[in-house]
A and B are shown apart, each in its own frame.
Chain A
Amino acid sequence: MQALPSTSANSPHARRPRVWGWVLLAPMIAWLVLFVILPMVILFVYSFCTRDDLGRVVFEFTFDNYRRVGDPIYLTILGRSIAYAALTTVLCIALGYPVAWFIARQREAVRNTLLLLVMIPFWTSFLIRTYAWITILKGEGLLNGLLLAVGFIPEPLTLLYTPFAVIIGLVYAYLPFMILPIYGSAEKLDNALVEAAHDLGAGPVRAFSEVIVPLTWPGIAAGVLLVFVPAIGMFAITDLMGGARVPMIGNIIQNQFSKAFNWPFGAALGVVFTFMFILAYALIQRRGARDPHS
């Protein structure tokens, strides 16, 4: 997937930069420093600050914000966010892997058409796609209407604002982000290797688990990064599908900045989340690096 750092960007004819090379690149470097690095540094500093009675941030060093992150209430929410994100990731792999594999094994014309069909939901706003599920799951929504009309149920079920709805929303939003990178790996996979496994006596299950899955691991890893990490911090889908009943770490962070006005605590949560993200990223990258085919 393109989101992962690519190998050297240089052309073989690249020269050492002189004055102009640096002058022209300077705005981009400045942009990255100003709007990516510096804000992160400030967020980090904020996380050690306190606030006054009016909610203004006071630069007075304290560890209290991090101590508060360790509070069981927040640890539970953090744990729940990770659990939901993990379940979403697993479901996305389970649903998406066969699709990616199947698309990769098709003739070019069929493959391109199927890929287009994955690209459309990939590029459709997740907000719109989440709203589609609200219209289906809501008390007066389509699914309840259908079930009532058929006489399956005597009264509308509560489908929205449940953990079930949150998971559906997350899986629905992130599934294309899992299919595309796995497809990228599956497409490069040489059929001869699969046949060799078969000729050497591996059954379909064994060929799949011991040859195909390890060879497509880079795609799975990229997919996990594109699904698991954003899903942990997502607050809009959990808000729309779960209401206030299933708060996630993203909702808590957003609350600190929009309603509770406790920016230092929100910053501390953000910093903890960032470190979790870096850790997950490093772990997955290392696992990928150990694989000789990545």
Chain B
Amino acid sequence: MPTPTASRPLLPSGLRLLNLGFGVWTVLVFIFLYLPILVLVAYSFNTSKLNIVWEGFTFRWYADLWSNVPITRALKNSLIIASFTTVAAVVIGTGGAWLLHRYRYRFSRTLQTLICVPMIMPEIVMGISLLVFFTVINLELGFLTVILAHVTFCFPFVLVAVQARLQGLDPALEEAALDLGASPLKAFWLVIVPCLRPAIISGALMAFTLSMDELIITVFTNGLGSATLPTVVYGMAKKGLNPMLNALSAIFILTTIAFVLFSSHLRKLSTR
């Protein structure tokens, strides 16, 4: 839809043609992005074990999924790990963002860069470095090591999300609270945190999703009893097609859609 609105001036004619071409291109790219996942969702209801022919509609694979012990156990593990990770990431991320906002530390800039390192560092390097670290300090691989690893790459995302919100916050809010006799802690808890709530919630959602989806770092830091859903899915996908995986994928995709819609709703609330 290359129709310009009144507020936007018309593009030069040559560029308008270019824009039309880009529009067609965009549609094609969206088909490329969505066709495979739509096919996956559709075929999760197929009676046939193979993807080639459509034999009939069934919920069988979903039922199988529910009674599959490795998968349900992995789901439970993933939920436990993601929950702990989210709580820790929110506490460290929100606290860190607030402190970096409120105080002028001597090495603020260096610290800011260091915080970004876990977000941009290649996952495999982070995975193997944590593996050797946990081995050297003799910490047995399991839930704890996975949670420690997940918190490390999740809290910077919360921190950055909260920082973005803090930049638009009126500094007078905290000053007023302090002038009215609140302790700094009370001012933070009763005034600042409520203002940051949308950013904290969207940061928490991000941390939860990142933790639920993380594969590479988890492969290196988990133990025998702490297999997460992505590691189990990876193992199954390596073996080839499995209709249960289609069903599981469909659930993943629908959950992600719900998550994205909810976050965008939050963002709308926070910018209002």
Where the two chains meet, the residues of A that have a C-beta atom closer than 8 Å to any C-beta of B are 2-6, 8-17, 20-21, 24-25, 27-29, 31-32, 35-40, 42-43, 46, 95-96, 98-99, 101-103, 105-107, 110, 112, 114, 116-121, 123-136, 138, 140-142, 144-146, 148-149, 172, 175-176, 191-192, 194-195, 198-199, 203-204, 207-208, 225, 229-230, 232-236, 239-240, 250, 253-254, 257-258, 263, 266-267, 270, 273-274, 277, 281
Which A residues lie within 8 Å of B148 (CB)?
A: 35
Q: How far is the CA of A199 from the CA of B14 in the complex (A)?
A: 12
Question: Which residue of chain B has its CB nearest to the CB of A47?
Answer: B132
- Contact (Cβ within 8 A) B15 A5: no
Contact (Cβ within 8 A) A42 B241:
no
Question: Which residues from B are CB-within-8-Å of A146?
Answer: 52
- Please encode chain B, from 39 to 70, with 1 for each CB lying within 8 Å of some chain A CB and 0 for all others: 11001000000111100000000000000000
Which chain A residues border B128 with CB–CB below 8 Å? 43, 253, 257, 266-267, 270
Interface assignment of B196: CB less than 8 Å from any CB of chain A: no
Top 6 nearest A-B pairs (CB, nearest first) are: A145-B52, A39-B129, A39-B133, A198-B12, A132-B36, A204-B14
* Cβ contacts under 8 Å, A136 to chain B: 36, 39, 51
- Which residues of chain B come closer than 8 Å to A132, judged between CB atoms? 36-37, 39-40, 249
Q: Which of B17, B19, B122, B130 has the most CB of A within 10 A?
A: B122
Residues on B with beta carbons closer than 8 Å to the beta carbon of A126: 213, 215
- Given the interface contacts A6-B163, A120-B256, does A39 sit within 8 Å of B130 by beta carbon? yes
* Supplied contacts A124-B256, A236-B234, 4 more A-B pairs, CB within 8 Å: A9-B97, A9-B112, A129-B36, A145-B52
Min Cβ gap B176→A in Å is 13
B259-A42 in contact (CB<8A) = no
A10 touches B104 (CB 8 A): yes
Query: Which chain B positions have C-beta within 8 A of A9?
Result: 97, 100-101, 108, 112, 163, 166
* Partner among B30, B109, B129, B253 whose Cβ is within 8 Å of the Cβ of A128: B253
Question: How near does chain A come to B221, taking the closest CB pair, in angstroms?
Answer: 11
Number of A-B contacts (CB under 8 A): 310
- Contact partner of A116 among B95, B113, B114, B261, CB < 8 A? B261
**Smallest CB gap from A148: residue in B:** B52
- Size of chain B's interface in residues, with CB distance under 8 A? 109
Complex Cα distance, B8 from A119, in Å, reads: 25
Q: B233–A42 contact, CB under 8 A?
A: no
Most A CB contacts (10 A, CB to CB) among B15, B43, B50, B96 go to B15
Listed by A's residue number, 6 A-B pairs whose Cβ atoms lie within 8 Å are A3-B119, A14-B102, A98-B21, A110-B1, A121-B33, A124-B252
Question: Helix, strand, loop or mixed for chain A's interface?
Answer: helix
Partner of A257 from the list B29, B166, B220, B240 (CB cut-off 8 Å) is B220
Chain B residue with Cβ nearest A105:
B19
Q: Quick one: given A39-B130, A195-B11, A236-B216, are A204 and B18 in contact (CB under 8 Å)?
A: yes
Can you name the residue of chain A whose Cβ is closest to the Cβ of B169?
A: A11
Q: Contact check, B233 vs A128: say whether CB atoms are below 8 A apart.
A: yes
B190 in the interface (beta carbon within 8 A)? no
B19 touches A145 (CB 8 A): no
Report Cα–Cα, A229/B23, bound state, in Å. Answer: 29
Residues on the B chain within 8 Å of A116, using CB: 260-261, 264
CB of B132 within 8 A of CB of A267, answer yes
Chain B 92-127, CB-CB to A under 8 Å as 1, else 0, gives 100111011111110011011111111111111110
Which residue of the partner chain, among B14, B25, B169, contacts A203 with CB atoms under 8 Å?
Answer: B14
Q: Is the CB of A29 within 8 A of B111?
A: yes
Q: Which residues of A contact B50 (CB under 8 A)?
A: 140, 145
Asked if B246 is at the interface of the complex by the 8 Å CB criterion, the answer is yes
In the bound complex, residues from chain A placing their C-beta under 8 Å from that of B257 are 120
Q: Is the CB of A14 within 8 A of B112?
A: no
Residues of A within 8 Å of B166, CB to CB, are: 9, 11
CA distance A169 to B121 in the complex (A): 21
B157-183 near A? 1/0 per residue, CB < 8 Å = 100110110110101000100000000
Q: Which of A128, A130, A132 has the most CB of B within 10 A?
A: A128
Interchain CA distance A3-B225 in the complex, whole Å: 33
Q: Are B96 and A25 in contact (CB under 8 A)?
A: yes
